[in-house]
Amino acid sequence: MRPVILSSVVDRNLCIGCGLCAALCPQNILTMQWNRYGEYNPTEASPCTTECGLCTKVCPFTDSGENEDTIGERLYGKIPGIRHLPETGYYLASYVGYSEKHRPTSASGGIATWLLEALLAEGIVDHVICVAPTGDPERLFSFRVFDIPEDVRTGAGSAYYPVEMSGVIRHVLAHSGRYAITGLPCFVKAVRLAQKKNPKLRERIVFTVGLVCGQMKSRHFTEYVASIAGAGGKVMGVRYRGKSPDRSASNFYYSFLAENGEEKQIFWNEGISEAWTNRWFTPNACNYCDDVFAECADVTCMDAWLPEYSRDSRGANLVLVRSSDMREVIEGGQGINLKPVPIEKLVQSQAGVVAIKRRQLWHRLCRDREKGLKPLKKRVKPEKSKNPLLCKEVALKEQMQRISKECWITCEAEKDCFRQVMHPHLVRLQRSLIISRIIVLPLRIIRKAIPGKRDE
Ligand SMILES: Cc1cc2nc3c(=O)[nH]c(=O)nc-3n(C[C@H](O)[C@H](O)[C@H](O)COP(=O)(O)OP(=O)(O)OC[C@H]3O[C@@H](n4cnc5c(N)ncnc54)[C@H](O)[C@@H]3O)c2cc1C
Ligand code: SF4
Ligand code: SF4
């Protein structure tokens, strides 16, 4: 038999490539491979003979009967002092801050790396699993297991590049010890679903460190940005969050190591933002994600995208804590500068992502229903937006997302050809956004003045 995960998730273009189905398969018949779009998918090495269905029960994109609300409730709901917001899930405390030692090489304030190092150094865990560069151009980043605090720092920075967990989860299953693991919201959810099914994972993975996530990108995204940066040929290495003292934290740069040994840099507003915000090379699964704040993680780190912090190029974190043990580690932390901040500031810092993953998701689910597709069961209900310009923006971005993936292949990774195809779509979107700003802004002001009106 063909493994059920392939027909129920992969064929429906809903796989984010976490690798948990492959790691948990008792027959070991699934392997994670690149698909033609530069995303990871499970593939079958041999037919499924037992049809146990474990693969679908650990997948974050099937209806396993559990969602982030029920998992959060199970893990954190009974902790004294815990509170809940629909946007963030459960929270015990929230902070703003940084680690002076770590932030030069980290994505933002370096708290994630500081924390992982501290967990190892203080003997709270025996192993840390995080993402680090590989030096292999076919697989620039991967999840790795580290046992020495200083080694964890090799993984500092964000990897906007597909990574999958099948190898490290198999490692945890085979080697005892206490592990801390980093992950995007969907990956942490998959780990939690797997822990429910597997006692070894439950016992051994003792801390989860989540990252706020707006979207993932395919491997082709890195190739495209490298090409506009002038790093042609194979990309041998990339750093995504370079900091420049004369620019704001949000105008970071990507730095590529080209095949000829040259290093090329490109800043966010020199072409990265166009591909990022228009959702070029974004996996389809991300269109159906309603978790912004990694609601199943013991602690979640994010960029402090607030005007009072983002001007400082060195970067700062906002941090949301859900477990009491994690709060103890963080509040007793040496060498960090952290102070409490209201939870509303965290929601405010991610306002754009919340809009996409919640309000726009209502609308996307509704569009699926209109197309005759069965809408995925999410925590938000399908509902058509009453704002025609928002409908148009969603449709145009979805179109660009789809076209970008095909077009990079048909253009044979040639950037001028790719940009020519994308150009008319960009123009249409820009026109629509200008009209939207002219019409919608005054309407929003009027709506805000009328109590009880929902902002679309
Ligand atoms: C795809 C992606 C999208 C993101 N979107 C947002 C967003 O919309 N808003 C926002 O505020 N923040 C977002 N982040 C998180 C942000 O980029 C930082 O990771 C976060 O602010 C922590 O910063 P830091 O300086 O504490 O982390 P660092 O000290 O740099 O440590 C980051 C840790 O995360 C691990 N890591 C890096 N990439 C991955 C990955 N792909 N999967 C699992 N672990 C990884 C590293 O190994 C390292 O241990 C995103 C991150 C990723 C990878
Ligand atoms: S999202 Fe993860 S668990 Fe689901 S099919 Fe893809 S790799 Fe497997
Ligand atoms: S947007 Fe959601 S589905 Fe996509 S990578 Fe981030 S957490 Fe996973």
Residues 291-326: tens digit of each pLDDT = 999 999 999 999 999 999 999 999 999 999 999 999
Nearest residue (by CA) to ligand 2, atom 2, is 18
**SS3 at position 294:** coil
For residue 120, pLDDT over 90 is answered with yes
Given ligand 3 and candidates 284, 289, 300, 397, which is best to mutate, with the most ligand atoms within 8 Å of its CB?
289
For residue 381, pLDDT over 90 is answered with no
450 — pLDDT class (breaks 50, 70, 90):
low
Q: Which atom of ligand 2 is nearest to the CA of 42?
A: 7
Q: Which range, of 30-39, 53-62, 350-359, 437-446, averages the lowest pLDDT? A: 437-446
- Chain-wide mean pLDDT for the chain? 94
For residue 9, pLDDT over 80 is answered with yes
Given ligand 1 and candidates 211, 219, 345, which is best to mutate, with the most ligand atoms within 8 Å of its CB?
211
Q: What is the mean predicted confidence (pLDDT) over 123-135?
A: 98
Nearest to 106 by CA among 298, 7, 249, 311: 249
Q: Which range, of 59-63, 138-142, 204-208, averages the lowest pLDDT? A: 59-63
Å from CA of 336 to ligand 1 middle: 18
pTM: 0.95
Nearest to 10 by CA among 37, 185, 396: 37
- Indicate if the alpha-carbon torsion angle 415, 421, 424, 430 is positive or negative: negative
For residue 451, pLDDT over 70 is answered with no
Nearest residue (by CA) to ligand 3, atom 5, is 216
For residue 45, pLDDT over 90 is answered with yes
For residue 164, pLDDT over 50 is answered with yes
CB distance 194 to ligand 2 below 6 Å: no
Q: What is the mean predicted confidence (pLDDT) over 384-392?
A: 87
- d(CA 126, CA 24) in angstroms, rounded, equals 22
446 — pLDDT class (breaks 50, 70, 90):
confident
Q: What is the mean predicted confidence (pLDDT) over 239-263?
A: 95
What are the DSSP calls for 397-445, one per residue?
HHHHHHHHHHHHHHTTT-HHHHHHHHHHHHHHHHHHHHHHHHHHHHHHH
Nearest residue (by CA) to ligand 3, atom 4, is 286
For residue 445, pLDDT over 90 is answered with no
- d(CA 410, CA 317) in angstroms, rounded, equals 40
pLDDT of residue 388: 85
Given ligand 2 and candidates 8, 11, 15, which is best to mutate, with the most ligand atoms within 8 Å of its CB?
15
pLDDT of residue 454: 40
The fraction of the chain above a pLDDT of 90, given in percent, is: 88
Nearest to 162 by CA among 184, 181, 190: 184
Ligand 3 cavity residues, CB under 6 Å: 16, 184-186, 213, 215-216, 285-286, 289, 291
For residue 273, pLDDT over 70 is answered with yes
Q: What is the mean predicted confidence (pLDDT) over 37-59?
A: 96
- d(CA 318, CA 335) in angstroms, rounded, equals 17
